[in-house]
C-alpha cells in the first residue's frame, strides 16, 4: 500500500486548491489576492502541430516499465472486484485517430472563445501502448498573455479529478509576465472524456455511508455501499476506468506541451498537482523547465503522516483564535474549543441533523469543518457561525460546506466525485478491507477530531480496476524544481513538502510559515516574489528560505 501519499488515506476529502478557489469565487470564503481574468483579446484560431523531429511526444525516453518502483507489499488489492465487466457502458469513447501515435502528434488545436479564456480539445490515445483502440477528448483552457514572450505555463489545481479551467481563469492574465496560462481537464475529469457512475441516489448512498462503523452490521453496510458504487462506475464507464492513472495523465501533458510548441514544460501544480509535476519530472526529466510544486503530497513510501493530522493542526490554530475572540462562543481555551467540536461531531453519529430530505452525519460534519481549514484566518468567522448554527440544530451551512468538498450539487454530483476515486484507486495499491480498521484506529489516535469522526471509505478496496506501477519519483536529470510548503497546511502537512524536496534530486524547498492550503494563491508577497523570480528567470531561493 502506498501509505505515504496523504490524499489517499480513505477520507472523502478532495485535496484540491481548485475547489477552494470555487468557494472563493462564490464568496463563501474570503480569498487571498487574486487577479481577475480579463476577456481574451484573441479570437478563434488554429494552432498547427509542430514538427516532431527526433522527440516522441508522450513517450518517455526510458519506458515506464524500466523505472524503479517501490517494493511490493505482501498482499495487494485482495478485495477488488476485478471480475466485474460493463455490459453497456454509457461513456462513449471517441474513435482512435489511427493505429499508431503519428496522427496524435500531427493534430492541430482549434481555439475558440469561452467566457474569460480560449478553449480547445485535444485528442489523446486511451491506451498509450495501444493507440489504435480508442481516443479520449481532453478539454483545454488558455488565458493568453498580452505579450506572450515565454510561451505556456501549464497549471493543475489538484484533486485528483478536478476540472482545471476555473483555476486558470482565477490566476488571471499576466500574473506571471509573458506566460499564457494553460490548463487541461485530466483524462476522466471535467469536460474531458470523464468517468460516470450511478444515479444521484446511488452516489448519495455511498458518500453518506457511515465511515466509523461501530458493529458488524455497520461494517457490512459500509462494505456493501462502496462495493455497489464501484460496480456502478464500471457499468457506466467501462474500460475508461483502466486508463485513468497519473502516469497516463502525464503522458497526455507531454503531448500537450508539444502541441503548444513548448520545448520545455513550465508548470505550476497545487496539491495533487505536485504529484503530477513530480511524475512528469520522473518520466520526462529532459523536458522540464520551471516546475513549481505547491502544497506537496508525500511521494515517499514509508511516510506515516496522515491527512487528518494536517486538519488537526489547522483546527488547533482555529481554536487558538476562537478562544481569544468574544464573538466565538465555542470555548475559552484551545482545549475547550476542540473538545466541544469533537463532542458535537461524535453526537452526530447517533443523532444526525436533518436538512430537508437529507441530513448531516458525523463524517459530513467533519468534512464541512475541514473546508474552512483550507484557508486562513479570513475563514474563521464563517466557520464559527456555521458550527454554532449546526450545534443549535441548523445544519444547512455545514452540509453545504461538506458538499463543496465532496462534489455534491443541489441537483446531483460533480464529475469530480467520480473522477476522484477512479484516479485515486488506480494510482494506489491497498491491503484489503480488513486492513482499513487498523488504519482507521491509527489515524484516530493521531488526529482524534478528524481521524475519529471522518472515518474511512472502502472505495479502493472494492474497486473494479487494478493499480498502476508504484514508481519511485526522483526526477533524476530534471531541471531545478521549486517545492513550496506551508507550515499550517491543513490538507497536505508541511513535512510532505520537506520530503518531496529531499527525494527529488533537483528539488529546492521554499517554506511559507502560515496557514492554509495553496501558498502560491494565498496572496503572500514574499511567496509571490520568490515564485515570480523563479518562473521569470530561474532564480531559486536561498536554502532554508522562509516567508512569514
pLDDT in tens, 473-483: 999 999 999 99
Question: pLDDT class for 25, splitting at 50, 70, 90?
Answer: very low
| Band of pLDDT at residue 51, cut at 50, 70 and 90 | confident
Query: Which residues make Cβ contacts (< 8 Å) with residue 180, sequence separation at least 6?
Result: 142, 143, 144, 145, 148, 151, 152, 153
Question: pLDDT tens-digit profile of 404-441?
Answer: 999 999 999 999 999 999 999 999 999 999 999 999 99
- For the question of residue 489 being annotated catalytic, the response is yes
In the numeric block, the cell 494510482 is attached to 427
The closest of 207, 159, 210, 240 to 459, measured between CA atoms, is 207
Beta bridge partners, 135, equal: 125
Q: Average pLDDT, stretch 53-71?
A: 94
Q: Phi and psi at residue 9, in whole multiples of 5°?
A: -95, 15
Could you give the CA distance from residue 101 to residue 107 in angstroms, rounded to a whole number? 11
* 210 catalytically annotated: no
Residue 357 annotated as catalytic: no
Q: How many CB atoms lie within 10 A of CB 204?
A: 16
Q: Which of 304, 311, 321, 332 shows the shortest CA–CA distance to 453?
A: 311
Instruction: Report the greatest alpha carbon distance in the chain.
Output: 68
Q: Which of 198, 193, 206, 282 is nearest to 244 (CA)?
A: 193
pLDDT(468) > 90: yes
pLDDT at position 335 over 80: yes
State how far the Cα of 155 lies from the Cα of 98, in Å rounded to an integer: 29
Query: Residue 334 and residue 312: Cα distance in Å, rounded?
Result: 12
Q: Specify the DSSP class assigned to residue 408.
A: E
Q: How far is 437 from 441, CA to CA, in rounded Å?
A: 6
Question: What average pLDDT does the segment 230-243 reach?
Answer: 98
> How far is it, in rounded angstroms, from Cα 401 to Cα 232?
26
| Local confidence band at 35 (pLDDT 50, 70, 90 cut-offs) | very low
pLDDT of 38: 56
C-alpha cell belonging to residue 168 = 486558470
Task: Name the grid cell of 257.
Answer: 506541451
Q: What is the pLDDT of residue 40?
A: 53
Q: Angle 380-391/307-323 helices, nearest 10 degrees? A: 90
Average pLDDT over all residues of the chain: 91
Residue whose C-alpha is closest to residue 443's, from 452, 431, 432, 435: 452
The single residue of 166, 192, 271, 416 carrying the catalytic annotation is: 271
Condensed to tens digits (0 to 9), the pLDDT of residues 293-314 reads: 999 999 998 766 788 999 999 9
What gap in Å lies between CA 400 and CA 397, rounded to an integer? 5
Q: What is the DSSP track for 134-156?
A: -EEEEEEEEE--SS-SSEEEEEE
List the beta strands (DSSP E) in 62-150: 109-114, 117-125, 135-143
**What is the per-residue pLDDT for 174?**
85
Q: Decide if 183 contacts 138 (C-beta within 8 A).
A: no
Q: Residue 461 carries which DSSP code?
A: T
Residue 23 is classified by DSSP as H
Cell of 9: 488515506
Helices 334-350 & 380-391, crossing angle to 10 degrees?
A: 50
List 242, 457, 489, 528, catalytic entry: 489
The yes-or-no verdict on residue 41 having pLDDT over 80 is no
Tell me, what's the pLDDT at 306? 85
In tens, the pLDDT along 151-187 reads: 999 999 999 999 999 999 999 888 899 999 999 999 9
pLDDT in tens, 100-135: 999 999 999 999 999 889 999 999 999 999 999 999
Task: List, in sequence order, the alpha helices (H) in 260-302.
Answer: 272-283
pLDDT for residue 12 is more than 60: no
Do residues 131 and 58 lie in contact, with contact meaning Cβ atoms separated by under 8 Å?
Answer: no
Q: Say what the pTM is.
A: 0.93
Q: Using pLDDT thresholds of 50, 70 and 90, give the confidence band for residue 27.
A: very low
Amino acid at each position: 500500500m502506498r501509505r505515504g501519499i496523504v490524499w489517499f488515506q480513505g477520507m472523502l476529502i478532495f485535496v484540491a486548491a481548485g475547489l477552494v478557489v470555487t468557494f472563493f469565487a462564490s464568496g463563501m470564503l474570503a480569498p487571498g489576492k487574486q487577479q481577475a481574468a480579463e476577456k481574451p483579446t484573441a479570437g478563434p484560431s488554429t494552432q498547427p502541430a509542430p514538427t516532431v523531429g527526433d522527440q516522441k511526444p508522450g513517450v518517455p525516453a526510458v519506458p515506464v516499465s524500466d523505472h524503479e518502483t517501490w517494493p511490493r507489499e505482501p498482499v495487494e488489492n485482495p478485495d477488488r472486484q476485478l471480475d466485474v465487466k460493463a455490459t453497456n457502458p454509457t461513456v462513449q469513447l471517441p474513435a482512435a485517430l489511427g493505429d499508431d501515435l503519428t496522427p496524435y502528434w500531427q493534430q492541430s488545436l482549434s481555439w475558440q472563445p469561452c467566457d474569460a479564456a480560449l478553449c480547445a480539445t485535444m485528442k489523446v490515445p486511451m491506451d498509450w501502448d495501444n493507440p489504435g483502440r480508442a481516443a479520449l477528448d481532453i478539454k483545454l483552457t488558455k488565458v493568453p498573455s498580452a505579450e506572450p514572450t515565454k510561451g505556456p505555463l501549464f497549471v493543475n489545481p489538484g484533486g485528483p479529478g478536478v476540472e482545471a479551467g476555473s483555476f486558470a481563469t482565477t490566476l488571471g492574465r499576466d500574473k506571471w509576465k509573458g506566460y499564457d496560462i494553460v490548463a487541461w481537464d485530466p483524462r476522466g475529469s471535467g469536460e474531458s472524456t470523464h468517468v460516470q457512475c450511478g444515479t444521484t441516489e446511488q452516489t448519495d448512498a455511498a458518500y453518506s455511508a457511515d465511515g466509523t462503523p461501530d458493529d458488524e452490521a455497520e461494517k457490512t453496510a459500509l462494505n456493501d455501499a462502496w462495493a455497489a458504487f464501484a460496480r456502478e462506475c464500471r457499468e457506466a464507464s467501462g474500460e475508461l476506468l483502466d486508463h485513468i492513472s497519473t502516469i497516463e495523465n502525464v503522458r497526455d501533458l507531454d503531448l500537450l506541451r508539444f502541441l503548444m510548441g513548448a520545448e520545455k514544460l513550465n508548470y505550476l501544480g497545487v496539491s495533487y498537482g505536485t504529484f503530477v509535476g513530480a511524475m512528469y519530472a520522473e518520466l520526462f526529466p529532459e523536458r522540464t523547465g520551471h516546475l513549481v510544486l505547491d502544497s506537496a503530497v508525500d511521494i515517499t513510501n514509508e511516510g506515516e503522516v496522515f491527512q487528518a493530522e494536517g486538519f488537526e493542526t489547522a483546527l488547533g490554530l482555529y481554536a487558538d483564535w476562537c478562544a481569544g475572540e468574544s464573538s466565538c462562543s465555542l470555548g475559552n481555551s484551545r482545549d475547550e474549543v476542540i473538545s466541544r467540536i469533537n463532542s458535537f461531531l461524535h453526537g452526530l453519529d447517533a443523532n444526525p441533523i436533518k436538512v430537508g430530505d437529507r441530513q448531516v452525519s458525523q463524517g459530513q460534519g467533519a468534512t464541512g469543518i475541514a473546508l474552512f481549514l483550507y484557508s486562513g484566518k479570513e475563514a474563521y468567522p464563517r466557520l464559527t457561525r456555521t458550527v454554532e448554527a449546526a450545534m443549535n440544530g441548523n445544519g444547512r451551512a455545514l452540509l453545504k460546506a461538506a458538499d463543496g468538498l465532496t462534489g455534491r450539487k443541489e441537483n446531483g454530483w460533480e464529475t469530480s466525485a467520480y473522477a476522484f476515486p477512479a484516479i485515486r484507486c488506480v494510482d494506489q495499491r491497498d491491503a484489503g478491507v480488513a486492513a482499513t480498521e487498523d488504519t482507521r484506529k491509527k489515524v484516530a489516535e493521531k488526529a482524534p477530531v478528524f481521524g475519529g469522526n471522518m472515518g474511512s471509505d472502502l472505495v479502493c478496496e472494492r474497486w473494479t480496476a487494478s493499480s498502476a506501477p508504484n514508481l519511485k519519483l526522483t526526477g533524476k536529470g530534471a531541471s531545478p524544481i521549486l517545492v513550496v510548503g506551508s507550515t499550517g497546511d491543513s490538507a497536505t502537512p508541511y513535512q510532505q513538502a520537506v520530503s518531496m524536496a529531499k527525494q527529488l534530486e533537483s528539488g529546492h524547498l521554499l517554506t511559507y510559515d502560515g496557514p492554509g492550503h495553496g501558498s502560491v494563491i494565498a496572496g503572500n508577497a514574499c511567496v509571490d516574489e520568490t515564485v515570480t523570480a523563479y518562473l521569470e528567470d530561474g532564480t531559486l531561493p536561498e536554502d532554508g528560505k522562509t516567508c512569514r
